[in-house]
Structure 1
């Protein structure tokens, strides 16, 4: 009889008690004005056959890849494991602190975030229980495509339930959902986890255990029934949460011992091109006319790169897998479009393979080829504002999604053939 997998859950409040700069949308004054909903980090630890794996969910817009790797390294060292055994998942709330040196108290908040998460790891280490697990999938309609002329949404509500194998007590449920956490936008200056906080509490009551929400392929998906730019009202938070609870009632779990658990990474090299002066001027003018975005700083950065002889920018990325028995979360640090996750699921012919964005960072939108060619805010104009955080001034080349899908499929076939 194989060794039983041990699992532990813990969560910690990561809400700052000092003023921060909110990130995620334009506000006349980005300085936070109190707290609407607390922010949390949640941790699941798994131990089997001498290996430790750590799944972390964080109420945050996301970290740069460098900061995410810093945090993962700290957690890995704390657990005496390797960085590829730590997976971060960001809710992508647009009412959370900007944890970077560019922002008010950004470095202070990042260090606080790390300290709180390490405390959470310590707490989880004292709570291990032998575990059984089961996957399930249902449909949910919390999101809708926000791109002009597009209707595609990955409406799968993916679920992983963990229970104590001795008592049958539920330990936690992980739900993979797909919809931007941006109901609260420019008219909100209070810290909030958006609909995640309310949804978790309602779902906790339904499942009688903690619930972890993981963001899926939401790069072009907004919460249903809210404006794609201005967001919605506080009442919409409750509405979206209620849809999730109703959807969760369709989940049916079959629990088994955890026989196969793996977490590993594959490196990716992303390439983007620096625009010519003429092209950059055209893009900046279009962004101003279409979205009211001031691209002056972005134009200056493009000019600096050209003068330095830099015509392309290459970023080292990462594709990470978390496989447990017959299901899988895999993800990249980008805001991938829903079509990409659906293509992966269809080509592997398995509804329990969930390809996610917002994993181990957040470095910009990643559209599939058709939407790349259309341009627009997600695929182009957003870089005029967020290039300092993303580390590149233009989107990755248009064949990037195609390459990424192939990489996911090839790796999935390799690990399921073992």
Structure 2
């Protein structure tokens, strides 16, 4: 491919609901939206180098079910004349967007608009140069006060038109939960990803795509809420009426000198591919399930009645373990790579993989091609709590299992990701 030219086409579309709609992200009894704070977007970048064509999509959503995500990928594949594994859906994991599983009409609308955007991106193809860079930031904090693990990298992919040199697109990878707005907000919003895109577009004069990192246990430093949320409950976190803008200003301040110093070059390597790994989750005994439900009610006010019924149903049918097939997808461009799984992986996953590969431009993240729940490290697994057990009582209906993946699954996945990474 050394004599081939890298091509990029880009398009974006509005996916804001037109009427009040059930949202997802807080497990509230009333999840109906009450207006629009900021519009939601989906963005499509189509890449081609020689015969290789692939597509990266960013969507303002907590993360579709894997079935819904794959249906969209299959429909986009027909538009772009490529296979499903050549399409990577990167969900922002914002908690103030519609529940697509509860609104087939909204889901269908998003699919149609994203497919239209893909067709427009294909018409926008132009030769480009690109370069990866890293800035470093402090927008996130580990939810555990006694844990300092953080991925401070802001991965930057700077893309310029190869003929004019004009900046065509900036793609960022951030690592902090997209949950500046908390459970007392009922307005539709892309959360801080939206204000980051707006601030950077104004500064650099080009579209901005933002993807999410391994942020399962990383909360935003700033938050806007009148309540005391469980993920911002100590003096490290900053309550602010301008929290969304504060996050964006921090990102802009940290990346600007790096972006200005980066010089895009000709790229001769592009690939996107997937690998599958199968992992197991146990079904808890009923006494253990009751203990977990009691803890969830006591510490988070979570009603585990339905979850307990599902656990009981599985046990009565002699089902003591469940299996999850995890798709690990790689988008490799030049000397950098975005790699993702649908799970909410902890930050240690990204840090360990990058260290094993000796590549600071390898970015392992979650919320890719869906969202299937928290995936703790062994250390987090031992601590239990919301990320390990309690969240399952709310979202098990979307994840296809009632319990976290087994303790050793973290090491298995990290090994698998590393072994299947591209040679760059």
TM-score surpassing 0.5?
A: yes
Matching residue of 2:368: 359
SS in 1 for 2:216: coil
Matching residue of 2:252: 245
* Structure 2 stretches lacking a partner, 5+ long: 233-238
Matching residue of 1:21: 22
> 1:42/1:337 Cα in 2 relative to 1: closer, same or farther (>3 Å)?
same
Give the alignment of 1:36-115 within 5 angstroms: 36-100=37-101, 103=102, 106-115=103-112
1:26: Cα distance to partner? 3.6
Superposed CA deviations along residues 376-398 of structure 1, whole A, max 9, x for unmatched, are 10111100111001111000111
- Count of matched residue positions in the alignment of Structure 1 and Structure 2: 411
SS in 2 for 1:416: coil
TM-score (norm: length of structure 1): 0.96
Q: Which one of the candidate residues 200, 216, 220 is aligned to 1:219?
A: 216
Structure 1 outlier segments of 4+, above 6 Å: none
Contact 1:217 1:335 in 2 (8 A): yes
The Cα RMSD (Å) is 1.3
1:202: Cα distance to partner? 0.6
Matching residue of 1:339: 348
Superposed CA deviations along residues 38-81 of structure 1, whole A, max 9, x for unmatched, are 00001110112123100000000001111111111111111110
Q: Which one of the candidate residues 144, 155, 172 is aligned to 1:175?
A: 172
Matching residue of 2:122: 125
Q: Does residue 1:387 correspond to 2:396, yes or no?
A: yes
Matching residue of 1:369: 378
TM-score (norm: length of structure 2): 0.94
> 1:122/1:50 Cα in 2 relative to 1: closer, same or farther (>3 Å)?
same
* Structure 1 stretches lacking a partner, 5+ long: none
1: CA distance between counterparts of 2:144 and 2:386? 9
2: CA distance between counterparts of 1:86 and 1:242? 31
Give the alignment of 1:135-284 within 5 angstroms: 135-226=132-223, 228-229=229-230, 233-251=240-258, 252-284=261-293
Superposed CA deviations along residues 163-217 of structure 1, whole A, max 9, x for unmatched, are 1100111110000001111111221111100111111011112222111010001
Matching residue of 2:308: 299
> 1:351/1:363 Cα in 2 relative to 1: closer, same or farther (>3 Å)?
same
Superposed CA deviations along residues 355-409 of structure 1, whole A, max 9, x for unmatched, are 0011111000011111111101011110011100111100011111101111111
Q: Which stretch of the first structure deviates more once superposed, 336-345 or 141-150?
A: 141-150
